[in-house]
Amino acid sequence: MKILALFHDNVGDVRGVSRRLHLEFLLKLNDFYDLKLYGPDMHLYNDKTLVPLLYNKSHSMKFIVNEIKPHIILCLSNILTKKWLPNDFKLVSNIAKVILEGDYHDVDNKNWYKDNNFNLVIHRSAEFNENVPSVWMPLAADECFYTDMKDINHKDRIKMVSFFGTRSNYKYYDVRRLAIETLEKENILCGRNDDKDLEKHYQSKDFVSVESKKRWGCNKENYRYIVGYDDYPKKLKECVCSLSCAGGELKGAVGKIFEIMASGTTLLTQMFSNSEILFGHRCCVFYKRDCSDIVRKARKIINDADYSEYIAKNAVEAINKHHLAYHRMKELCNILEALYYGKDIPRKWGK
């Protein structure tokens, strides 16, 4: 089966989110099917087998399909594809069209999926309520975050809460900003870059793309807690605890949740939907949206190694059993094959 993946690699974004959560996951499909990539910046992979047709904004979808002849068209994230999709994409009707979303999507444009005639949306939050055929397939942690149970030893870790990401005025970051400010005041949050380190990030390929700079603005305070692509997996294993926040309006488990848990680090997060379905009990520590209890709970994790290890080991057990990238790849293959052969879509997670 030949799969044409349409994607814009947002090169250099914070923590390598689009690269790790989207593209590197997608590339695993090449082990099972004949995968072809098309989109802006795909030429950077310099592989004519993988990228047989270089992106050109004048290409119509009809032309692209005629050249590559796929059995399934797979888009990755409406945020990263909708700005450049050919205008006639919605007219393609003889090939199944699927979109694999990220940990958030454009909730303000309710009709985009339907208008583009997608046969299936694979969404990453169980709160997906768009009026199109869909199936829930949660995110997962890349194997680079894998931690063996026997290697979890919080007595040797830094006794602080780490955070990695941006802290902009984006409307869904209200809890994130409050959590960061509250923990900073108590001097128990680490991961902050000084001006010298921040300048190194800004000049490196690991900083945000030009597109993201325009979106977020170049306020350096927004980027105090950024970390490079290669450093991120290592940094997550330095402290006993790491901070995350659920995904805005979708209230789902964002990618960072899986990555922190996989690292043998105690996850400190606001409540997210379907946590028990995904992980069971006692796999993380929840704080209130108003952060009124975040300091007390953070100090409990920091000062009680037995407690933090207990939570972290429960999380690692759940991740290693159900939530590594290779688990999700098997689920994705089953979904795509069911769609191609006209069978019922498997719903491992019930929605």
* Residue 349 maps to a domain: no
Inter-residue long-range contacts of 284-287, CB under 8 Å, 24+ positions, other chains counted: 284/257, 284/311, 284/315, 285/241, 285/311, 287/179
* Residue 346 maps to a domain: no
* Residue 348 maps to a domain: no
* Residue 302 maps to a domain: yes
Region at 79 (left for phi over 0; alpha for psi -120 to 50; beta for the rest): alpha
* Residue 282 maps to a domain: yes
**Is residue 37 located within the same domain as residue 173?**
no
**Is residue 285 located within the same domain as residue 328?**
no
Helix pair angle (174-185, 294-303), 10° resolution: 60
Give CA angle at 276 (334, 282), nearest 5°: 130
Q: Cα–Cα distance between 199 and 331 in angstroms, integer?
A: 41
pLDDT of res. 167: 81
pLDDT of res. 75: 93
140 φ/ψ angles, rounded to the nearest 5 degrees: -155, 170
pLDDT along the chain (351 residues), means of 10: 85 60 87 94 77 94 97 89 90 94 71 91 80 92 94 96 86 88 97 82 59 56 82 94 77 90 97 92 95 98 97 97 96 97 94 77
pLDDT of res. 4: 97
**Which residue is associated with the tokens 């989110």?**
17
* Residue 351 maps to a domain: no
**Is residue 293 located within the same domain as residue 150?**
yes
**Is residue 40 located within the same domain as residue 159?**
no
Q: Please count the structural domains in the chain.
A: 2
**Is residue 132 located within the same domain as residue 148?**
no
**Is residue 81 located within the same domain as residue 179?**
no
Q: Cα–Cα distance between 51 and 5 in angstroms, integer?
A: 10
DSSP, collapsed to helix, strand or coil, labels residue 123 as strand
Can you give the residue range of the structural domain that contains 156? 143-322
* Residue 86 maps to a domain: yes
**Is residue 20 located within the same domain as residue 107?**
yes
Q: Cα–Cα distance between 144 and 203 in angstroms, integer?
A: 25
**Is residue 180 located within the same domain as residue 317?**
yes
- At 314, which CATH number? 3.40.50.2000
One-letter identity of residue 104: Y
**Is residue 102 located within the same domain as residue 169?**
no
Q: What is the pTM of this model?
A: 0.92
**Is residue 151 located within the same domain as residue 133?**
no
pLDDT of res. 21: 78
**Is residue 101 located within the same domain as residue 34?**
yes
- At 55, which CATH number? 3.40.50
**Is residue 58 located within the same domain as residue 201?**
no
pLDDT of res. 77: 83
One-letter identity of residue 156: D
